[in-house]
Structure 1
Amino acid sequence: MAPARTAEPPVSWFTNVDSPVPPHVGPPRNIAAIDALKFDPSLQPKQYNILGTHPESKILFADVSIFDSTGREPFRGDVLIEGERIVAVGDVSNVEELKKDPTVRVFNGRGRTLMSGLGDAHTHFTWNGGDLARLGELGVEEHVLLTVRSAQCFLDSGYTMCFGAASAKERLDVVIRDAINAGDIPGPRYLANGKEMARRDGALVEGITAYADGPEEMRKVIKHHVALGVDNIKLSMSGEEITEIRSAQDCYFSDEETAACVDEAHKYGKRLCAHARARDSVTMCVRHGVDVIFHASYIDDEGMDMLEKAKTKHVVAPAINWLIATLYEAEAFGYTHEQAEKVGYKRELDAAIAGLREMHRRGIVVLPGGDYGFAWTPHGTYARDLEHFVKLLGFTSHESLIAATAGVAALLMRGHELGKIKEGYYADCILVDGNPLEDISILQDHDKLNIIVINGRVHKAGRREYVRDNVSLPVAGQDGNVHPIAPDIDFPEVKKQMQKAY
């Protein structure tokens, strides 16, 4: 493999990232691009449902500022949830009766923002927040517990949708996905991945890699992962500067190998995603139909033009926070700024920002999320990406929120029922104490995420949310049995199957 390049050929777009992007005034520009996404119907993932929500359950959000992720500005109103889905938005006809009904869980928004749960387009549940090389040595039992904790952390952070980007052990993602859907553990809606596949001369982290050289061996590895029950398949096509032996500018896959991977995965109805930082890896992804392109840092004019022409079939998830944190925030963990800049992270960050600004300008779908779970990109800090999109990539706050909600729902191929506050959609939502359109960073403050609901069930709500206006907290039987904290009423029981038939 050729030594790492120190400079890429010039590109046609503006590359001075220190110059701010002119502000955009008007409706979100990425809605049309997200709506135009058309993955082949044969690649539709299995329709997963999260069990445990009783159909008679009712939740009323009264007097909230509704951010519905359609492009409309927030508006004041009420939202009613019945069972798993939203049944009324804005004007709830019998709202006063519902407020008095002891079987309805009422949350008084007081003007707080109700919005869809967030989504992450590049998720690693199995990353441990430390030394990835040690993950291969970690016992399965300990690793399961770690992964369960990560899944819950996403939901605790307001994330209700995640697209799996690689698993450190081949079945871990699948097992956690199934446990979430069974209602056994808390977590977001999830499309699971297996180990990332790399050539033997191109692995980034050996212990968590599935190896394959050449088209036929790659087909066998993909078939193996399909048999495990994964939803997505990950190719590790380019290097990573932190390895100091495999540059992000080098591509390790051939056209023949990439074409074989796409053919085999699509044959079984599975989409591919790729670690593709290098120029050549990005063009191969577009040329052969890799559905989700991670990073795309060194995209050139050829790749950009190809991607623009095929933009209804591809999504880019840059994981921009990894570059920023590695360059500026890893020193406390032993990786100095000088080291990061020496191996090329400053050069890559500048190239990535310029390229992503151009993608956004051309209407290519760019989605937030990625590579959280490293020591300096810890779990729970996922919403940093949304602020980076605004401050660095030229997105408005509205566009960043659209990408993180409706955009990730489209990536999951469920844009018709996830990612928006609309009638008929699944009730995955968060009540935010503040206005993220005015300050998108508030989504990083877990204390501002006052209520988190997934599948019509309350995952998080503080004690004060249950105290109705001007009513002190009652004891059982007080207030004529109208208070939801301690009502003397029989609620329908959800009986769960005790043993699964294998």
Structure 2
Amino acid sequence: MAPARIVEDVPWTSPAYQPEPYDGPPRNVAYIDAIKFNESVKPPKYEILGTDPNSKVLFLDVNILECTGKPIYRGDVFIQGERIKAVGNVANKDQLLKDPDVRVFQGKGRTLMPGLGDSHTHFSWNGGDLASLGTLNVEEHTLLTARSAKCYLDSGYTMCYGAASAKERQDIAIRDAIYAGDIPGPRSLANGKEMAKHDGDLESAITAFADTPEEMREVIRHHAGLGVDNIKLVMSGEEICEVRSAQDCYFTDEETAACVDEAHKAGKSICAHARARDSVKMCVKHGVDVIYHGSYIDEEGMGMLEAARMKHVVAPAINWLVATLNDAAAFGYSHEKAEQVNNQELEVALRGLREMHRRGIVVLPGGDYGFAWTPHGTYARDLAHFKNLMGFTAHESIIAATYGVAKLMMRADEMGQIKEGNYADCILVDGNPIDNIDILQDHGKLNVIMINGRIHKAGRKEYVPPPVAGEDENKHPIVPDVAVRDGRPTVQS
């Protein structure tokens, strides 16, 4: 085990360092474009079943946020079946408006944007004590996990990259049920139990243990045989455990190399809980695809990561640190204790993440929701943290959560953007999230949620417009009678 140590004092880790103010076009589209994961780990092309290919939906007069880097612009969007058919200008709009089979949504200037994505998802976490998950009966636990998946979709999230499951097949069962069209939820990639050494687990009840390279290979082969898409390693500690420092690394180079080799041979991407300096370096050196947290990265590690930035993404799960500091006291973890163990890591992590963004390293939001003070349904907190704490613009934060997560799931050619030919996974927002990114945390402002061309959520007002004077041959009891003169309604006196 590498000894715990504080990150070295280099310029970008200085408390005085702050990113330069920026208000230009989103920079991270180019960073995301450049990512090239190993094609051998591309997951199967999962499809959500059940969308009628003849279904037609027309969004009129919306502010379109493509998440391609273009500024928001006004236009219409037409969807047929599970795909977007036209964006901006719908050539046959007049014909579609005469078709009674076309479902029309009057945007009235609301924002239409892609569904959001989470890069570090725990469907099976229950909002409380993780240790209890190990003994929770599988039937009840499966229902809880399905509820969490629906909660993601209710929150406007249509993509989730699995980061560990409390039971080894929980993510798999939920993924398969979503794609079969049997339960509501986001497009997802499934993980199994996180793997740790006996002196390095974060919670034994939900851990698959392995202590040697060969044992690790065997655990990976077992999970691959079950049908997971991703493999999760626990390479470093976690301050809240109090006996596992976030600055301690529990894996060796030989073990990390064996895990990456075995996962990639099986066609599975690999992610790692890697807060410690040495764990981050091992991830980069040996090709771990997704680096979770990365808090204590040093200058050497930053240089390694920058040089290999086309092969890795970082998902810091920054809300865990922020919420532990600010919200955990209500659940019995005192603010004083949180300041003692978490405040230093938060400050160091934020400086490193700002530097990653400056150097063009892809950083994605999402993660570690499902604990008591990071409850399900609050996922969009991460987007605000990216803007307010990490030097991202609001547009960049949203792009990271849409196009960025689509790239992580290796489906960026058909997900994560409002673009002709892409899956119709989108949300209609009552407001402009570029001007007010906090609006994405308000479920009441997510007026329409669509996945795979199907409406998951839409209120009655989207289907029943307010009465108009003279409609229904003047039979409506509320609005005044009108006379039609020269094709225009005129109120009768």
CA contact (8 A) 2:2 2:250 kept: no
Q: Distance in 2 between matches of 1:65 and 1:271?
A: 36
Q: CA deviation at 1:100?
A: 2.5
Q: Which residue of 1 aligns with 2:9?
A: 10
Q: Which amino acid aligns with 2:10?
A: V
2:409 paired with 1:396: no
Q: Which amino acid aligns with 2:307?
A: K
Q: Distance in 1 between matches of 2:271 and 2:148?
A: 21
Equivalent residues in 2 for 1:70-85 (5 A)? Answer: 70-85=68-83
- Over the aligned positions, Cα root-mean-square deviation in angstroms equals 1.6
Q: Which residue of 1 aligns with 2:374?
A: 377
Q: CA deviation at 1:469?
A: 6.3
> 1:28 is matched with which residue: 14, 19, 26?
26
Q: Which residue of 2 aligns with 1:334?
A: 332
Q: Which residue of 1 aligns with 2:491?
A: none
CA contact (8 A) 1:85 1:425 kept: yes
2:231 paired with 1:233: yes
> 1:359 is matched with which residue: 356, 361, 368?
356
1:366-411 C-alpha deviation (Å, 9 max, x unpaired): 0000000000000000000000000000000010011011000000
Q: CA deviation at 1:21?
A: 3.3
Q: Which residue of 1 aligns with 2:481?
A: none
Q: CA deviation at 1:40?
A: 1.1
Q: Which amino acid aligns with 1:337?
A: H
> Equivalent residue of 1:13, what SS?
helix
Q: Distance in 2 between matches of 1:413 and 1:215?
A: 28
2:464 paired with 1:467: yes
> 1:187 is matched with which residue: 179, 185, 188?
185
Would the alpha carbon gap of residues 3 and 42 (structure 1) be closer, same or farther in structure 2, given more than 3 Å must change? Answer: closer
Would the alpha carbon gap of residues 397 and 211 (structure 1) be closer, same or farther in structure 2, given more than 3 Å must change? Answer: same
Q: Distance in 2 between matches of 1:471 and 1:83?
A: 31
Q: Which residue of 1 aligns with 2:480?
A: none
Q: Which residue of 2 aligns with 1:259?
A: 257
Q: Distance in 2 between matches of 1:92 and 1:469?
A: 25
CA contact (8 A) 2:7 2:297 kept: no
> Equivalent residue of 2:11, what SS?
coil
> Equivalent residue of 2:435, what SS?
coil
CA contact (8 A) 1:12 1:301 kept: no
Q: Which amino acid aligns with 1:215?
A: P
Q: CA deviation at 1:12?
A: 3.5
Q: CA deviation at 1:471?
A: 5.3
Q: Distance in 2 between matches of 1:418 and 1:169?
A: 29
2:164 paired with 1:166: yes
Q: Which amino acid aligns with 1:88?
A: A
Q: CA deviation at 1:96?
A: 2.1
Would the alpha carbon gap of residues 191 and 388 (structure 1) be closer, same or farther in structure 2, given more than 3 Å must change? Answer: same
CA contact (8 A) 1:4 1:246 kept: no
Q: CA deviation at 1:3?
A: 6.4
Equivalent residues in 2 for 1:75-474 (5 A)? Answer: 75-342=73-340, 344-468=341-465, 470=467
1:126-159 C-alpha deviation (Å, 9 max, x unpaired): 0000000110010001100100000000000000
Q: Distance in 2 between matches of 1:12 and 1:138?
A: 48
CA contact (8 A) 2:403 2:416 kept: yes
CA contact (8 A) 1:85 1:455 kept: yes
Q: CA deviation at 1:219?
A: 0.2
Q: Which residue of 1 aligns with 2:485?
A: none
Q: Which amino acid aligns with 2:296?
A: Y
1:263-310 C-alpha deviation (Å, 9 max, x unpaired): 000001111000000000000000000000000000001110000000
Larger radius of gyration: 2
TM-score by length of 1: 0.92
Q: Which residue of 2 aligns with 1:64?
A: 62
Q: Distance in 2 between matches of 1:147 and 1:20?
A: 40
Would the alpha carbon gap of residues 223 and 418 (structure 1) be closer, same or farther in structure 2, given more than 3 Å must change? Answer: same
Q: Distance in 2 between matches of 1:263 and 1:130?
A: 35
Q: CA deviation at 1:470?
A: 4.7
Q: Which amino acid aligns with 2:206?
A: I
CA contact (8 A) 1:108 1:468 kept: no
TM-score by length of 2: 0.94
Q: Percent identity?
A: 71
